Structure 1
């Protein structure tokens, strides 16, 4: 059995480790990170050329099932995967960590896009900790606030005029996030609803410091696609035989 795993997330790497040795596993990484953490099994890097290109790749490489374990905000890739799987008649599973849920004391301002997040900043704070990744900084380019941008690789313009860049990769600790917020005098946090534990400590640190959070909610999984919330659930889906309930 040949399984294609889309994505370089923590869950994707864990799933590849669970399946490696049991089935043939190929992990596909987008190539947006210069030095990605490589999973077990075969690895390919780069795009497929949209849904048509992915469907052709599935046929040419005799793929028996696709698991979309991309970042929850990789909306285009997820919809391409759904289209390609349907075209190639290959079972598809989406592996998505659960989203974050507010706790007592949180001051969350939930929005649906990066542009809406930029618009929500007025009146919330002047020193912004921006953790939405380096690809969406253009949405904040016209904002007058000062930004601390954290990303794995250096971002490129356009970006806010007043920006400091912090190159770092999670997981992050609560003590480290507390120190970062205090040291940079952060008074508002902007983040995406990535879910999981690797980057969640910033939310706890913001709650403790009474800092408001602008949270971009994730897009939905394509209609009709079955969802697993853990690598173990996804591995069990493969073991049962992809496409079976």
Structure 2
């Protein structure tokens, strides 16, 4: 019987992994998307949209569909999905791999302020600047609604969900972004401070370099801690190795 791999997707790495698996004779791959983005990119293999109904629902799906391995390649901040996947894998005995791109690291000249949460980021902003470039995602803006004295430039792939900060300008855009483009954006909007999550990867890293070049402080929200006993691999090649496949 052909091995069936479930990829919990939504990231570039998930798309790359699905393509690698689908190219292997006899391997069946299904990518599951939460459905939060209305126009997801093309994916190799089968695709399902929507949640599973928690850890129990995911465990039932793994059994019903004969899944031989599950790869959690969701966003580094999708902690609920990661926790459910770990519990479902433990309950069913299905091998599980967590694929997480490495986080960003501050370099010489960076003025980064690490925080543990969005609430902590919001509390820090008034002492850092009045014009904020907010790139924490469209579902995480409620933490910044009690700062009416600040102006927020909010960038997201799709329109953010309310509540929004009182003084907010929304910019809809999808990466990757160029360094020149990010520098221009920060200058034109007279940004004082950048707020981001430690998502990692190259697609949106140019804003960090642009902020350093312009001498701007950056507030970085740390990633959630992985569930007990769960370790992550950093790239697609390592995930394939864990699955006993070799990169082509």
Q: Which TM-score tier does this pair reach, normalised by the shorter chain?
A: over 0.9
CA offset digits 1:181-239 (Å, max 9, x no partner)? 00100010000000111100000000000000010000122221232100111112223
Q: 1:70: how far off? A: 0.3
Match of 2:35 in 1: 31
1:89-238 to 2 correspondence within 5 Å?
Answer: 89-144=93-148, 145-238=150-243
2-side partners of 1:215 and 1:208: how far apart? 17
Task: Verify the 8 A CA contact 1:64 1:90 in the aligned structure 2.
Answer: yes
1:13 aligns with 2:18: no
2-side partners of 1:108 and 1:21: how far apart? 41
CA offset digits 1:73-107 (Å, max 9, x no partner)? 00000000000111111111100000111001111
Provide the secondary structure at the position in 1 that maps to 2:106.
Answer: coil
Q: Which runs of 5+ in 2 are unaligned?
A: none
2-side partners of 1:110 and 1:75: how far apart? 19
1:3 aligns with 2:5: yes
2-side partners of 1:18 and 1:143: how far apart? 46
Task: Verify the 8 A CA contact 1:92 1:225 in the aligned structure 2.
Answer: no
2-side partners of 1:226 and 1:42: how far apart? 27
Task: Verify the 8 A CA contact 1:94 1:221 in the aligned structure 2.
Answer: no
* RMSD between superposed Cα atoms in Å: 1.1
Q: 1:240: how far off? A: 5.1
Of residues 80, 83, 89, the one that matches 1:85 is 89
**Please, what TM-score do these two structures have when normalized by structure 2?**
0.95
Q: 1:143: how far off? A: 1.1
**Please, what TM-score do these two structures have when normalized by structure 1?**
0.96
Q: Which runs of 5+ in 1 are unaligned?
A: none
Q: 1:147: how far off? A: 0.3
Count matched residues. 241
Task: Verify the 8 A CA contact 1:92 1:226 in the aligned structure 2.
Answer: no
Provide the secondary structure at the position in 2 that maps to 1:186.
Answer: coil
Stretches (4+) displaced over 3 A: none
